Amino acid sequence: MKTQVYALDGKAVREMELADAVWNREVSEGAIYHAIRNELANKRLGTAKIKDRGEVHSSNKKPWKQKGTGRARSGQRSSPVWVGGGKIFGPRPRDYSYSIPRKLKRLAMVSILSLKAKEDRVRVVQDFTVETGKTKDLVTAIKNLAAQERTVVVLKDNDAMIRRAGRNVPWLSFLSFNRLAAHDLFYCHKLLVLETAAKNLNEFYDVTAPAGDGKEKKAEKPAKAGKALKGATA
């Protein structure tokens, strides 16, 4: 598919070709769901914790004798049925992170890119940088492309100056072309992709591109120590 390349003033300057396998493919909603769920789960700290009956501060003395009082038997004041006692089945520190297949993650990314392209939320922008690293200069540079709306900028590399300039802008976030985040991409209102980053995305996610004949030479196994010694002494 073809798309326009825009300058910072918001005007189209030329056209470029985008890979259909990345920007114009069928959207897999299931892959998007699993990718976003995985990212949110991996961000969870898992530090929530309650105290059970063995951890609350209380006396181990039996409140009253077992029989003869007419009341129900009781053994400890830390019992969960008592006010101030321990809690049962509450949260404990745990690791919520898990992994998903690499192919599923790649499918989710290209599905989101295709979805944004179909919704006309993608703008391919000429490569630029912010040499001063100032927030004002960055906001002024992209005001004609995205203003005061949730925007993601896909960079061609880890441009420290652009990231520095945009870290104080609450509606702006940055991603490298080879480290995309499904959550940020899916919920952004505008997706700005640098021209070089768009070309890199075509190569990075286009699985239909030829990648050789697929025949790899098997590495020769090292000779065993016994055979090597025998050959040396012969």
Rounded Cα distance, 193 and 197, in Å: 6
pLDDT of 147 above 90: no
How large is the average pLDDT for residues 81-105? 94
Structure tokens at 152: 């993601």
Residue 131 CA to its chain's centroid (Å): 28
pLDDT of residue 112: 96
- Asked whether the CA dihedral 84, 89, 91, 93 is positive or negative, the reply is positive
How large is the average pLDDT for residues 73-77? 91
* CB of 53 closer than 8 Å to CB of 80: yes
pLDDT of residue 81: 92
pLDDT of residue 216: 43
How large is the average pLDDT for residues 74-91? 92
How large is the average pLDDT for residues 108-123? 94
Rounded to the nearest 5°, which phi and psi values hold at 169? -95, 115
pLDDT of residue 157: 86
Tokens 């790899």 map to which residue?
Answer: 216
pLDDT of residue 158: 84
Structure tokens at 61: 């003395």
- Asked whether the CA dihedral 49, 50, 53, 57 is positive or negative, the reply is positive
pLDDT of 99 above 90: yes
CB atoms inside a 10 Å sphere around CB 232: 7
Helix extents (H) in 101-181: 102-118, 135-141, 160-166
pLDDT of residue 214: 40
Burial of 181 (0-12, 13-18, 19+ CB in 10 A): middle
How large is the average pLDDT for residues 105-112? 95
Instruction: Work out the pLDDT band at 148, boundaries 50, 70, 90.
Output: confident
pLDDT of 48 above 60: yes
pLDDT of residue 207: 60
How large is the average pLDDT for residues 179-203? 93
